[in-house]
A and B are shown apart, each in its own frame.
Chain A
Amino acid sequence: MKLRLALSAFFLVSTVFAQDGGGLTASEPTGPSKPTPRTADGHPDLGGFWKGDRKTKPVGNIGKDLPGFKLPLTPAGQAALQFNLTKTIDPESLCIPGGIPRHNASGLPFMVLQTPKYVAFLYFYTYYRLIPVDGRKHSDDPDPSFFGEEIGRWEGDTLVIDSIAFKDEKVWIDENANPHSDKLHVVERWSRPDADHIHVETLIEDPKFYTKPFTYQRTWVAGPSGQVLGEYACSENNIDRDHLGPGPGDILPDGTRGYADIDPLPPPIKPATPPKH
């Protein structure tokens, strides 16, 4: 029987950071709210180390804000979900970028750095996305990618990121293996209502797999000053790769996922003898 370890990377990282004292989630800050910092060009500065709050439930489910967590799947979308649940290995476990909107639904923290012309989002697993905010429009025929072609613009104090040209249909839109097609169009509206919070309103359109657009919103809390992302070399000794089963595990009634009764882990592997110099 295949071992099902798709979530092991996530749990491993959690363990490391729990020991580090850095923490993956943050509590609500106490005291009066501090004003939104601004960059020299007058925009809100979205820069920071952002951690999920503990109120976001179910984590990793793009249908979090829908009644019963039911996504408006088309028949093709239903078939694609079934395919993902039973036939595709979690792409992140294979060291493929999670893409958008999956990273927004993730339980892991991220960093933002903002310059006048670019906003960079840096993620766990050492992936990043770089969003130009320089007045450009979508290209005529953009190359498909996991994060899509992302174009940023300011609408007042809101950074709007419009993304098209996503890659194929085997990437998961969230941790629950919900599908997206190459017709995916994502509009993120990022704001920083005060110094300690960043908020996104996400509009997800995918007429091939969803009967209507739906939304996902979420707030993150600022991490302590100086917390940074550690290096994560996903492809280093990725021994789980050949042991992974498809899908995210059973989707549970609370909208989360996983195997309630997992197979026991195999005995530890004896480390190879390093070369002598």
Chain B
Amino acid sequence: MKRFAVTLILLIPALALAQGDGGRRQSGPVPTGPAPRATNGHPDLTSYWRDDGNANPHGNLGKDYPGFKLPFTPAGEAAHKYNLEHTIDPESLCLPGGLPREDIGDMGFQLIQSGADTIFIYQYGTFRDVPTDGRKHAEDPDPTYFGEEIGTWDGDTLVIDSTAFKDSKTWADENADPHSDALHTVERWTRPDAGHLHLELTVEDPKFYKEPIHYQRTWIAATAQHTREQACSENNIDVSAGHLGFGPGPIRADGTRGYDNPDPLPPPPTKANPAKTILPANYH
């Protein structure tokens, strides 16, 4: 069986890396000086933020744990095995990455803070909207991929408390680590200076993890970049042709993932052997 689940993720960094410097030359100068402030006095977190290259192994919620071992419960262990063997990468199927996965991936993102709204805009065309207007969690919120997210300011720290996540088939990170509907995330976002954005993340999920998990990382302001349109469902031939295998590929000893010996790509299309586009059966 062909396993192309990671092609999207591999392709996009490859495009940026083709510039030779991780795409950083196109990012613009890193701003210096103190963090800007919004008119309401809070730090203004608005910018495009790119990975600082230090969150390694990238895409792994357990990056700061000895041997990258997460404190799974038996149910969590079973859910991880299920993800590795039975679920297709949800992002490859154009589902929102959700939390905490979007905090752990290495793609940059756009943050826009305006009044009582903070918007995180991600690659693959999805966004999340965090109201920071004093509201509390609803009594019975509808489950979603990003959860019900409530923002508050704790001094100069934007705290986002999220509950009510959707089922247990979504991956918590690129390694297919699981989360259940009992997931609760607390993100503490700070901008220590104009050029940096820092996250302290706590992931609680008593169904799948014996203790809360801590994860932290930093992004760098990329003043010349912004997110671009990506229509995930446009001609997603990997899905419609059934090419996607399960899981993220074997988890390696260094905490990353992937197939070391993927099947070779088909030869490039030629006039005699053109590329085939697969459309839904009733698409004319």
Give residues 80-129 of B contacting A (CB, 8 Å). Answer: 82, 86, 93-96, 110, 112-117, 119, 121, 125-129
Q: Is the CB of B93 within 8 A of A235?
A: yes
By a CB distance below 8 angstroms, the chain B residues around A127 are 125
In the complex, how many residue pairs between chain A and chain B have their CB atoms under 8 Å apart? 108
Q: Is the CB of B144 within 8 A of A231?
A: yes
Give residues 101-126 of A contacting B (CB, 8 Å). Answer: 111, 113-115, 118, 120, 122, 126
Main secondary structure of the interface of A (DSSP, over half): loop
Give the residue of A128, A145, A277 whose beta carbon is less than 8 angstroms from that of B180.
A277
Give residues 200-241 of B contacting A (CB, 8 Å). Answer: 207-208, 226-229, 231-234
CA distance A252 to B106 in the complex (A): 49
Q: Is the CB of B129 within 8 A of A122?
A: yes
Q: Is the CB of A115 within 8 A of B114?
A: yes
By a CB distance below 8 angstroms, the chain A residues around B233 are 94-96, 234-235
By a CB distance below 8 angstroms, the chain A residues around B282 are 2, 89, 242, 244-245
Interface centre among A47, A235, A274, by most chain B C-beta atoms within 10 angstroms, is A235
With A2-B282, A274-B167 already in contact, the answer to whether A96 and B226 are too (CB < 8 A) is: no
By a CB distance below 8 angstroms, the chain A residues around B207 are 277
Q: Is the CB of B281 within 8 A of A97?
A: no
User: Which one, A57-65, A189-197, A222-230, is touching chain B?
Assistant: A222-230
CA distance A118 to B119 in the complex (A): 13
Q: Which residue of A lies closest to B146 (CB)?
A: A231
Interface residue count on the A side (C-beta < 8 Å) = 44
With A145-B229, A146-B231 already in contact, the answer to whether A130 and B110 are too (CB < 8 A) is: yes
A241 beta carbon closer than 8 Å to chain B: yes
| Per-position 1/0 for A138-150, Cβ under 8 A of B | 0000000111000
Main secondary structure of the interface of B (DSSP, over half): loop
CA distance A113 to B281 in the complex (A): 40
A129 beta carbon closer than 8 Å to chain B: yes
CA distance A115 to B232 in the complex (A): 27
Q: Is the CB of B146 within 8 A of A246?
A: no
With A47-B114, A130-B121, A231-B96 already in contact, the answer to whether A242 and B127 are too (CB < 8 A) is: no
Q: Is the CB of A40 within 8 A of B39?
A: yes
- Smallest CB separation, B9 vs chain A (Å): 17
A87 beta carbon closer than 8 Å to chain B: yes
By a CB distance below 8 angstroms, the chain B residues around A229 are 129
By a CB distance below 8 angstroms, the chain A residues around B135 are 226
CA distance A277 to B167 in the complex (A): 12
With A113-B112, A277-B168 already in contact, the answer to whether A129 and B229 are too (CB < 8 A) is: yes
By a CB distance below 8 angstroms, the chain A residues around B144 are 230-231, 233
With A96-B234, A114-B114 already in contact, the answer to whether A122 and B119 are too (CB < 8 A) is: yes
By a CB distance below 8 angstroms, the chain B residues around A47 are 114-115, 117
B133 beta carbon closer than 8 Å to chain A: yes
Q: Is the CB of B116 within 8 A of A97?
A: no
By a CB distance below 8 angstroms, the chain B residues around A226 are 116, 131, 133, 135
By a CB distance below 8 angstroms, the chain A residues around B231 are 96-97, 145-146
Give residues 196-255 of A contacting B (CB, 8 Å). Answer: 225-226, 228-231, 233-236, 241-242, 244-246
Give residues 239-284 of B contacting A (CB, 8 Å). Answer: 280-284
Give the residue of B86, B93, B114 whose beta carbon is less than 8 angstroms from that of A275.
B86
In the A-B complex, the 4 residue pairs with the closest CB atoms = A95-B233, A235-B94, A231-B144, A87-B284
Q: Which residues of A contact B (CB under 8 A)?
A: 2, 40, 47, 87-89, 94-97, 111, 113-115, 118, 120, 122, 126-130, 132, 145-147, 225-226, 228-231, 233-236, 241-242, 244-246, 274-275, 277
